[in-house]
Chain A
Amino acid sequence: MTNTQQLIRDVAQADSPAQMVAAVQKLAAAKDEAAIGTLIAVFGYNNPAAAVAAVAGLTQLGEVAVPQLLAQIDDYNYGARAYSIRALAAIADPRALDVLLASAATDFAPSVRRAAAKGLGNLRFSKLDITERQKAQAKALETLMFISRDADWSIRYAAVVGLQALAKIPELQQPIQAKFAEILATDAENAIRARVHLAQRQVLVSS
């Protein structure tokens, strides 16, 4: 039995929440592709510390984990789904675009929508060819603009964070700055307007 198989077995046999966290941390640290399925399954165990360790492990593995992350999204457990979206957002592979778009716009769980909104701004669009890239960026922009008017303040907050990241793309800066001005003029929440001011400062610094 390989070391990874043993570590996978340890996760399966952990019989306390603390043991589970320790076993998942060790499995994540092994950085072995063979661990991907097990790490994703951890999202469904209702053990937040273990899930956070699994997200970190999958993020370190990076692109190689993306196909399984996309294939194994749990449609029946929004807690697990939020961790999958966080991992996809952190890896930032543009193959996750469609899932992030749909999750940001239509998932019923705010935790999933927030994670997707943040992720939409950070995708590594440069991995796409030029026509695909422009289409993908336009879709990400459109969805973030749309949810920046959501009734839930936390979704609007996440949309601002996503838009700030997207503003690194020079062609998108103008519409994003216009949207920021609109939010400053219309949003009733001080917290949202302050976050827009922060985004404006940081966009100016980076451009």
Chain B
Amino acid sequence: MIEPSAEEYLQENAPPLTKEQAIANLQSPDLSLRYYAAWWLGKFRVRDRAVVDALIVALEDEADTTEMGGYPLRRNAARALGKLGDTRAVPGLIQCLECSDFYVREAAAQSLAMLGDITAAPALMQLLGGGVAAAVTVPGRPHLTQPYEAVLEALGAIGATEAVSLIEPFLEHPVPRVQCAAARAMYQLTQDTSYGERLVKVLDSSDLKLRRVALGDLGAMGYLPAADAIANAKVENSFKLIALKGLLEHQLQQELDVSSFGEDALRVMNLMDSLL
């Protein structure tokens, strides 16, 4: 359900920028320069108050629109703000959850997950209104009514325990990727291993893309019991390494410093070595 990315095209064909130019370009009469500048500031993680301020303004852009009613600049600004780690962006991103453009809502939910700010919980929970019954495909579009995957993942990432009863029904949503997102969030919010094991089972799915999704979820959860299943999954090594890195980092977080890691972290690193 992710919007087809223009990143590779942009990276190869656009002129190099400086921070000052990129900020200025966010106001350029040339809308494509605005779009590129917002992407560039996130891509290169230009952490600066002036950058964050300019991107927050861009969340309300009215100039750059598509014939389908989309807001390309808002999408890129929302994505960039998640990467810059400044929680001043949270209110603007919460506003974006009500935008008419699905991809703006999706980008905002993903960035709110990255910023990890619990104040976003009520607005995210609103998007689950109507439950699974309302979570259907929009006719003629390649996505559901709301960006459910991103919303469920965000609620799990920010620790919104009050959302558990809203999230749980999505374990039975007809779209497998939404089920995965629900299992991931449920595990993060309850630490109940039965949700982790659901995702381990998905690693046996016949659908390669779904196996990759489950790997990503297990890595994001840092679900250690899955280490061997991850290493043995029928997925490219690059995906397994990213998932195991997630497990490793989760283990390291429990240590005072990274030099004092224990047996579990050692086991994960040995698995990673074997996948090089």
Contact = CB atoms under 8 A, between A and B. Distances in A.
Interface in B241-276: 241-242, 245, 248-249, 252-253, 258-259, 261, 265-266, 269, 272-273, 276
A195 B269 CA distance: 7
B238 A111 contact: yes
A48 B273 contact: no
A49 B249 CA distance: 29
A194 interface: yes
Interface in A124-156: 153-154
A190 B276 contact: no
Nearest to A198: B269
A154 B238 contact: yes
Given A48-B234, A191-B248, A194-B252, A157 B258 contact: no
Contacts of B236: 111
A115 B258 contact: no
Contacts of A198: 261, 266, 269
Nearest to B265: A194
Contacts of B272: 157, 195
Interface residues of B, number: 20
A175 to B, nearest CB: 21
A118 interface: yes
Contacts of A114: 237, 241, 276
A197 B255 CA distance: 14
A115 B249 CA distance: 23
Contacts of A158: 276
A197 B238 contact: no
A118 B259 contact: no
A117 B276 contact: yes
Interface residues on A, range: 20 to 34
Counting chain A CB atoms within 10 Å of each CB, which of B249, B258, B261 scores highest?
A: B258
A111 B273 contact: no
B261 A194 contact: yes
Interface of A: 48-49, 110-111, 114-115, 117-118, 153-154, 157-158, 161, 190-191, 193-195, 197-198
24 contacts: A110-B238, A111-B237, A111-B238, A115-B276, A117-B276, A118-B276, A154-B238, A154-B241, A154-B242, A157-B276, A161-B273, A190-B249, A190-B258, A191-B249, A193-B258, A194-B248, A194-B252, A194-B259, A194-B261, A195-B272, A197-B261, A198-B261, A198-B266, A198-B269
Interface of B: 234, 236-238, 241-242, 245, 248-249, 252-253, 258-259, 261, 265-266, 269, 272-273, 276
Closest 6 CB pairs of A and B: A118-B276, A194-B258, A197-B259, A114-B276, A190-B252, A191-B245
